[in-house]
Every structure is written in C-alpha cells, then in structure tokens.
Structure 1
Amino acid sequence: MQKYDESKNDYYAIAYCSRTLSETERRWPAIQIELGAIIYALRQFKPYICLMDVILHSDHKPLTFLLSKSKTHDNLARWMVELQSYNIKVVHISGNKNTVADALSRAAEDRNETTTPAVELKDIIEFPVSLSCSTFEECMPIVSMPHNVAIQGCPEPIDFLNEQRNDPLLQSIFTIKANQLLPDALDENTRLQAETLANACVVRADGCLYYCKPTEGNPIHLLMVPHSLRDIVFHAYHCSPLSGGHMGWKKTLAKIMRKYYWPSIRRDVYTLCESCITCQMRRKPRPSFRERLIPVFSEAVFAKVGLDLCGPLPVTERGNKYILNIVCWFTRFVISVPLKDARANTIAHALLTECVLKYGTMSELVTDQASSFTSHFYTEFCNLLGIQQRFATPYHSMGNGATERTFHTFQVMLSKFINIKHEDWDLFLPCVSFCYNTSINEATGETPYFLMFGRDPVFTIDRILNPTERPHMPTFDEAAEYKAQLISALHLAWSQAAEHARDYKAKMSLQYDKHARPSNFQVGDRVFFRNYTTKIGLARKLCFPWIGQFRIIKLDPPHAIITSITSPQSKPRKVHLNQIKKVVEACGPASTLPTIPEEEAEFAQQPVEPIMGYQHDSSNSNAELPVQLSPSHNDSLGNSPQYNLRSRSTIRPPRRFDTD
C-alpha cells in the first residue's frame, strides 16, 4: 500500500502484505491469480482504504477490462461483487515500472518444510480488526505454540527483577523493605495492600521479591509475579501443551503456586480458566441447562400428525431399507410403511396412498428439516392437499417426540422376530404396527385402534378358541340405534382419551420439570452451539462438543434465533435453548482489586500438610524466617539447595466475588 505525496509528486510505501499460494491456487489461470491477489490485499488494508478513492496499479492488463464486462466467469464473479464495495480504479502499468511488488515476489526466502502451509483464499472473510499497538510485542497474542511451527533460535529470557521493579505495587514493597517507609504517591488501598504484603515478603540473594507461604515446617518462597507477566504465567501453565494442558482451575492453581504468587491469584486463575474459550468448547455446563417442558395437545383425530424416517436399515429381499412412520398425535395410531429410498416423491406417494386415501387428510404435518421434507416438490405436494407443514427444531428429537418414540418401540419389537441377517424386517413391519395399534397406550388410556375405528379387533386366537362366536349384526330397524350408540361411544372415548392425555402430560411435565434449570439468556449474548456433526475421518470423541461462537438476535422461549460471529455471511438459525450455552467472558484484567481479598488472607494462614523428604529451603534452616532479613541471611537463602519437592495443600473453591 502506497501513499501519494502531492508536494513531491511521488508514491511512498506505508504497508506491505504477502503470502504464498496454496497447491490449489497454483493451478488457477493467471487472471484468477491476479484478481485473487487484489482481493487478498483489499481485505488486509480494508480498515485503511474503506470509503476512500483507491487507485490499483497492475501489470496484468486484462484486469482493466473486468469491471466493464457485463458477464464474467463464475470463479471471478464472486470477487467482482466484492470489488463493488470499494471506490477503486484499476490502472495498467508496465512490468518494468511495477518494481516494488515484483521485487518482493522474487525475494529469496529460506523455506522450512515445517512452517504452516498456505491456506487457500476463501470467498468471504470476516472484517479485519484494527489493533492499537505501540510495539510489536503487544500485537503478539499469548497463545499456545502450534505443533507445526518451527522455533528459530531461543527466546530471550525475561528480566524478572526489572519487571518487578517496574510494577507499582511491587516497587512499593521494595521501598518498604529497603527504607521502612511507604512511598508518598500511594492511595489508601494500595498503601494498605503494600503494607500487608511487605510483612509476608522477603528479598533474596538474586534481588527478586518472594512471598513467604507459611507451612508447618519452613516457609515456602514463591516468586512474586508482576502484573505485566501474570497473563504469560497463566497461559504457560494452562494453555501450553508443554506445561498446561488446559486442566481445571484447581490443578492449574496448584501448579502455578509451586513457584509463583501474586495478590488474588486464586480468583484470577479461576476467572481465567472459566473464561478460556478452548475449555468452554470442550466442557459441558454443570449442572446442565434444561428448559421446562411445553406439552403439545391434539384434540381431534388426524388434526396433528407426525411423520419421520428411520434408516437406512439392511436392504431386504424386496429392496426396502427405510421405515416411514405416520403417527396421529391424538389417537397415537401408527401407519408404518417400508420404503426403498428416502426421496421426496417416494415419501409423498407413500403418504398419499397409505394415509390420505385411507384415513383422510390431516390438518398439520410435523416433520424434521431433512431435505426430503423441505424440498420444493414436497412443499408443493402439501400445499396441493391443504396440509400445513410444521418443522421441528434441527437435532432436537423432542420436537417430534411422539413419532421418534415409536421407532424405539418398533426396533425393540422387530429385533425379536427378524432373522440373523436382518433381511426380512419388512415382512414383520405390518405385524408390529398392528400389535402396537391394538395395545393400550399410556398417554390416552385406550388402544389407538379403538379410538380410530370405534371397535376392538377380532384376533386370530379368538377365532381359534371360539369359532362359533360371531359379532352381532344390527338389523335394519336397529341401524339407527346402532349408529347413535357408535357415535356416542366414540365421542365418550375421545373425550376420555383427551382428558387422560391432559392428565398424563401434566404428570409428565411435573416429573420433567423437577430437573429443569431454565437458562437466563438475553438478546445479544454470545453462545456456543452443540456440535452434532463430525467431519469424515475425524474421531467423534476427540472433537469439540460445542462450536461457535454465535450471538442471540431473537428470543422466543423455548427457542432462540442465533447468528454466527465467525461466519457473518451464514444464515441465522433457529435452535432450542437446550442446544446452546452462554460464553463465559473474563470480567476484566487479572488482579483488579486494590486490596488483598479475604480468601488470600485466609489462605496465607492455612497450614499445609508436609511431605516426607526435602523441602524447598535448606534443611539446616529450622528457625522461622524473620520479616527483615540481613544481607548475610539473604545470601544463605540464595545459595541453599532447591529441590523439586513441595508440600501439597488442599485447593478449595473460590468465593463468588463482587464486580466492584
């Protein structure tokens, strides 16, 4: 990127950006590579050139004609649309004048095979974030080192003593230890904190400040960490694969406090571990959020019908490998149809011939959001029959629970009849469906068959045991009375079934809500979404169970509309509140309180159970260390042997802290 100097009529470079091409990009045509390079540069410099006039110099002349063309290749069209967001003018220059970019592209570079491979240019990238940094070090995030990055040379060691001297609080303690006086330019809270810590700190032979952690034996000296190095220490002991491993806050705290200490260390480690994004994407909330149950009622036969597919199953001799279940939510009557495939036209034909033409058209049809049910063909089919489509929340089986539950029952029943090769399940499917429909349903207190037809079936065993019994056939004079009795019996059965269903659902809701823990989401909250998919070739158990991040843009309990933060171009999705969890954010920088918290003062007085063997300090030092140490005493401490043995203290949970 160059800036034009009007006084000198010349351009001056103010920023550079470059990257290598991926294996796929190297096979692109020349014009696609050139345009891709332009798109990459515009995305990098977007915060600087947005809403400004931009002149683009290129030695590839075909680029100058792209903006004037009415139609371009599909591979270039998506980038041409992105170019429309800039006030840009493409100017062709000869190759011998494009010296800066040409020289950079030909610069010699020591390539290392272990460096990060080039990533192919994506169609849409998130808006770059502008950082206000004064030094290069501030721009570098403190994260764990990837396994495929080669470290060139050794990092420069940190001057810990200098960092302590530059910390205002620790410098005050140094002053107290040296002059027995407090600095004048201290507020009351900092003064109190410095006085309290000074009584528990010593300066050792290396000149650094140490915190004396009392134990039953000799006190353990923990290096006081200045504010500027606390994040580095935490990330090293929590995020790094070399020493952290993303363990819990208790183990992370115990590991840090073997050697280091700072005020409010317990609260800071707890807060940072809880707000670690990587840890949040792995762990589940404890206790898990669980919304209250919202029962769904149906007051008439075939008013609300659920439909779903099960499969693919082993292919039978007749070529079937799917089960289509159609369930009336009022009577719980199940129509089960074996299918050869799961295409929309196959499902529509089965629904028409096995359900609509035999029992009539339903008012509402509840399905999941599989492509077979959301296709244009299936939607038009439902519109033609006057059926209102309802879609359950994706990956939330309770939205169509009455239908989903029948598959579990059918699978248990089928497994008791089919052969060892599972090739004849479609022969037993009508039998299983009939047995289910003629059994008492717990929700209605009646059989689905009786609620559907107003009579009980005559089973085969009834004919065998009593072949002479015949059902009473009403005469012509009795027809009207029989019809009235049948209608009355059906209405009575339906009303009793509806009342029984309401009582059953109320009881079920009461039992379910005992373990309910409603969430407290608000519009604008950042959340994770449960990961229901696994890429091919990856182990399910090694994948993150949560993905994101997403932002809630609308709340309609028990559902929410969320949109992706990392992929803003993706469409918003409707999810159940049980499928998301809130992102825990750090409330602020480490150690924001000006005074020592209560838990730190209590922790300093806690006795620690000693272990057998060596301690951190010399075994010759049996007396308790005084607050003020003479130079000779400090020297003896500095020269004493240090062993990698420690006392193991009990880590207790932190208290809930106020925000002030």
Structure 2
Amino acid sequence: MKASAPKPKWSDVSAISSTTKSYWAQWDSLLIQDGVLCRKWANGRGDSCHLQMVVPKAKVPDVLQLYHSGCSGGHLGVKRTLLKIRERFYWVHCRDDVEDWCRKCTSCAAVKGPQIRSRSALKLYNIGAPWERIAIDVAGPFPESESGNKYFMVVIDYFTKWPEVFAIPNQEASTIADKLVHEVFCRFGVPLEIHSDQGRNFESQIFQETCRVMGTQKTRTTSYHPQSDGMVERFNQTLERYLAKVVEKRQRDWDRHIQPFLLSYRSAVHESTSVTPAFANFGRELRLPADLITGIPPDAPRSITDYANDLRNKMNDIYEHVRQSGQQTSEKMKTRYDRKMNNKGFDEGSLVWLHNPARSKGKSSKLQAKWDGP
C-alpha cells in the first residue's frame, strides 16, 4: 500500500499467494495508521465501524496465546475467543486458526476429555432367585434428625427389588455391618453376593471380615462409574425426592417418613419385574391402609395343606415370571445402551488423560496406559 496508492491491477497479483489476493480484494477497507496496516470493520447491524489491526502470520500464535490461553482469554470456547479477537485484529483464515488453536489446547483437552469416549457392549447380570445378590449404599449426610440420624443405609434385593432402608447416625463400618447382620441377614438369610461402591466403609477390614465370616462374596463398582450400581442409585434419588416433599421446614423429621414410603414402594409394580416387590418376595400383595377404607374383601379361608401347596406353585410361577420379565428388560436396556457402542479402546502405550478432582483438586495428570493381556 505504501508502494502504490491506486489499487494494483489483477495482472500484478495473479501470480501471488491466495492470502495476498484476499487482502487485494479488500483494498478499499485497508489503510495505514501510525505505520500499522489496519482494516475497517463494520458490525453486523452496520451502525458502527472500527479498525482492526492486520496481524502478520508470524504473530498469529502470539495473539491466540494472549486471547485464549492467557488471563485475557480464560480458556473460553471458539465462539467467544473468535469474537474477542475480531474486535481487535484481523487476518485471513482467522476462524480456522482459532478453531485449530482451541482444539489443540492441552489444558482444555485435559479438563474436557475426549468428545467420543470408549464404550463397549453392556454386560448383563441377572439373578435367578430372591436374596441371592443384594446391593448396599449409604446416602447423606442430611440434617441431623431429632433421633440423631444423619444418613440412611439402603439394601435392595436384585431379584425381587425389595428395599430395606435404615436411618443411622454415622456411616462407620461397624454401624453398617451391625445393621446388615441383624436387620437383613437375620430376616432374609445370607446372600451369595453383596454389591457396593468403593466407599471406605465397605472396603474396611471390619466389613470385609463380616462378609468372610458370613460366607458371602463382596463385589464393588468401577471407580467413577456409578452406573454399575444403578439400581440402588436410582432408588436413592426416588427416596430423596419423596422426603423433600414431606419433611417439615426444619427438616428434623426426615427419618420418620422412611418406613411409610417403603410400604408404598413395596406395594407398587416395579417396571423391570412387572410385579410388586412384595408379591415377588411373599407371593401376595400387601394390605394397604386405603384397602381398609375402601373395603377390599380378604381372601377366602383354606386348609393349611391346600394353602401350602398353592403357595409353593404360586411362588414358582412368580419366580419364573420375574426371571422372564427381568431378562426382557435387561435385553431392552442392552439394546438401547449398545446403540452408542464404538468399541474404541486403548492400545498399550497410548496416552490417556485421568481426571481425579478429589486428589488433584481439578488438575489432570497425563499417564501412559500399560497393562498385561488384551
């Protein structure tokens, strides 16, 4: 622009780079101010116009570093970074360079992780009889109740979906083991398996020794993967929503509403079994307070022998129905889950980003994946 005041002819720039041709096409919008090449830029509404500094290609990384990675940028996304830069600077292919810089920013990638995560096929684990496998979890802390309780402990049978909930003052391993033995094992028998998350109370020596003495096997969820204990997690959400609706303003009576809720839950049809937890567990429905008001007639009396035989046959039919319904529900869940399966795993030596907020306080660490076997 210093060399020639009028706009150069096309024949003068036809053999030059496409970047130069782009600036040649905007000749009327370019000017030199204080020895710096600038570009006049009007906003989308056309009611204001200001100058943008034209950035040489060698200085583009410096601008991107300042307005994305630096304190002036805050590691914001492509759109906000691009608008911030366009208010001040211009160069050809500005958008492409901003997108590429944000995509390759290691700090952003470490926090956000990959957009497409590895997802393999869903593994099914169905149970064939009541109280063979149970799930256990502790929720809280909640406001201390008048009875001194701050947590509730949940135990659910995988087959019948029968829940047991106990309000407890603390979540120590001794408290949980005592409730489990005296309130669950002594009433329903010792299960073959107990499934829980990796809480310190469930991984403690006291709890492990309790399982060993009782002869039950202990399994655990994968770290940071609560889906592997989804049944009890979903029940916790349902119970907490109910308590939020019925507790008093001071929230000191929440533990008194647990058992009435269990009566309602145990007498409601469960989606996965198509029967109520009470019917799957006892072979009969629970008599509800509303039944006494509406006058539901009791069953006709029968002899003890006929009742025992009918109950045995009835329970066998119930168990078969629950097994079939559970299998059908599991297959539907697997079909929905496997739709997003990509079978994209890791090879030995691949770089993976591990994010542990509890240990690294929001910082990510890059580790090299190594393991034996496939």
Asked whether the two chains share a fold, i.e. TM above 0.5, the reply is yes
- Cα deviation for residue 434 of structure 1 reads 2.1
Of residues 119, 127, 138 in structure 2, which corresponds to 1:298? 127
TM-score where L is the length of structure 1 = 0.46
- Equivalent residue number for residue 449 of structure 1: 278
- Equivalent residue number for residue 212 of structure 1: 23
- Equivalent residue number for residue 622 of structure 1: none
Q: Deviations over 1:375-415 (max 9, x none)?
A: 11111111111111111123322111111111122223333
Q: Distance in 1 between matches of 2:229 and 2:257?
A: 25
The structure carrying a bigger helix percent of its residues is 2
Q: Distance in 1 between matches of 2:349 and 2:65?
A: 28
Question: Do the aligned partners of 1:397 and 1:404 also contact (CA within 8 Å) in 2?
Answer: yes
Question: Is 2:362 aligned against 1:551?
Answer: no
Question: Do the aligned partners of 1:344 and 1:378 also contact (CA within 8 Å) in 2?
Answer: yes
Q: Distance in 2 between matches of 1:232 and 1:241?
A: 13
Q: Distance in 2 between matches of 1:223 and 1:422?
A: 61
Which amino acid is the alignment partner of residue 201 of structure 2?
Answer: S
Which amino acid is the alignment partner of residue 343 of structure 1?
Answer: E
- Equivalent residue number for residue 324 of structure 1: 153
Q: Residues 18-57 of structure 1: matches in 2 within 5 Å?
A: none
Of residues 500, 504, 511 in structure 1, which corresponds to 2:329? 504
- Equivalent residue number for residue 225 of structure 1: 57
* Distance of aligned partners of 1:218 and 1:337 in 2 relative to their CA distance in 1, 3 Å threshold: closer
Q: Residues 148-297 of structure 1: matches in 2 within 5 Å?
A: 196-197=16-17, 201=20, 212=23, 214-215=25-26, 217-218=28-29, 222=54, 224-226=56-58, 231-242=61-72, 244-249=73-78, 255=85, 258-259=89-90, 269-283=98-112, 285-286=114-115, 292-297=121-126
Which amino acid is the alignment partner of residue 551 of structure 1?
Answer: Q
Q: Deviations over 1:602-628 (max 9, x none)?
A: xxxxxxxxxxxxxxxxxxxxxxxxxxx
Please, what is the CA RMSD of the aligned residues? 3.5
> How many residues are matched?
337
Q: Distance in 2 between matches of 1:200 and 1:368?
A: 58
Of residues 153, 158, 164 in structure 2, which corresponds to 1:335? 164
Which amino acid is the alignment partner of residue 217 of structure 1?
Answer: D
List alignment gaps of at least 5 residues for structure 1.
1-194, 203-210, 536-542, 558-660
Of residues 415, 426, 433 in structure 1, which corresponds to 2:244? 415
Q: Deviations over 1:116-136 (max 9, x none)?
A: xxxxxxxxxxxxxxxxxxxxx
- Equivalent residue number for residue 528 of structure 1: 353
* Distance of aligned partners of 1:348 and 1:279 in 2 relative to their CA distance in 1, 3 Å threshold: same
Q: Distance in 2 between matches of 1:447 and 1:556?
A: 44
Question: Is 2:173 aligned against 1:362?
Answer: no
Of residues 141, 155, 175 in structure 2, which corresponds to 1:312? 141
Of residues 473, 486, 495 in structure 1, which corresponds to 2:311? 486
- Cα deviation for residue 341 of structure 1 reads 1.2
Q: Distance in 2 between matches of 1:498 and 1:267?
A: 56
* Distance of aligned partners of 1:378 and 1:503 in 2 relative to their CA distance in 1, 3 Å threshold: same
Which amino acid is the alignment partner of residue 332 of structure 2?
Answer: K
Larger radius of gyration: 1
Q: Residues 2-17 of structure 1: matches in 2 within 5 Å?
A: none
Q: Deviations over 1:161-203 (max 9, x none)?
A: xxxxxxxxxxxxxxxxxxxxxxxxxxxxxxxxxx643x8659x
Question: Do the aligned partners of 2:143 and 2:150 also contact (CA within 8 Å) in 1?
Answer: yes
Question: Do the aligned partners of 2:127 and 2:133 also contact (CA within 8 Å) in 1?
Answer: yes
Q: Distance in 2 between matches of 1:522 and 1:200?
A: 41
Q: Distance in 2 between matches of 1:469 and 1:511?
A: 43
* Distance of aligned partners of 1:432 and 1:532 in 2 relative to their CA distance in 1, 3 Å threshold: farther
- Cα deviation for residue 549 of structure 1 reads 2.2
Question: Do the aligned partners of 2:195 and 2:219 also contact (CA within 8 Å) in 1?
Answer: yes
Which amino acid is the alignment partner of residue 503 of structure 1?
Answer: Q
Question: Do the aligned partners of 2:111 and 2:355 also contact (CA within 8 Å) in 1?
Answer: no
2:28 is paired with a residue whose SS is: coil
2:279 is paired with a residue whose SS is: helix
Which amino acid is the alignment partner of residue 329 of structure 2?
Answer: Y
Question: Do the aligned partners of 1:301 and 1:330 also contact (CA within 8 Å) in 2?
Answer: yes
List alignment gaps of at least 5 residues for structure 2.
1-14, 32-36, 38-53
* Distance of aligned partners of 1:432 and 1:223 in 2 relative to their CA distance in 1, 3 Å threshold: closer
1:318 is paired with a residue whose SS is: coil
* Distance of aligned partners of 1:458 and 1:238 in 2 relative to their CA distance in 1, 3 Å threshold: closer
Question: Do the aligned partners of 1:522 and 1:555 also contact (CA within 8 Å) in 2?
Answer: no
Q: Distance in 2 between matches of 1:550 and 1:498?
A: 43
Q: Residues 536-575 of structure 1: matches in 2 within 5 Å?
A: 544=362, 547-554=364-371
Q: Residues 82-97 of structure 1: matches in 2 within 5 Å?
A: none
- Equivalent residue number for residue 259 of structure 2: 430
Question: Do the aligned partners of 1:369 and 1:392 also contact (CA within 8 Å) in 2?
Answer: yes
2:370 is paired with a residue whose SS is: strand
* Distance of aligned partners of 1:251 and 1:322 in 2 relative to their CA distance in 1, 3 Å threshold: closer
- Cα deviation for residue 487 of structure 1 reads 1.8
1:415 is paired with a residue whose SS is: helix
TM-score where L is the length of structure 2 = 0.77
Identity of aligned residues (%): 24
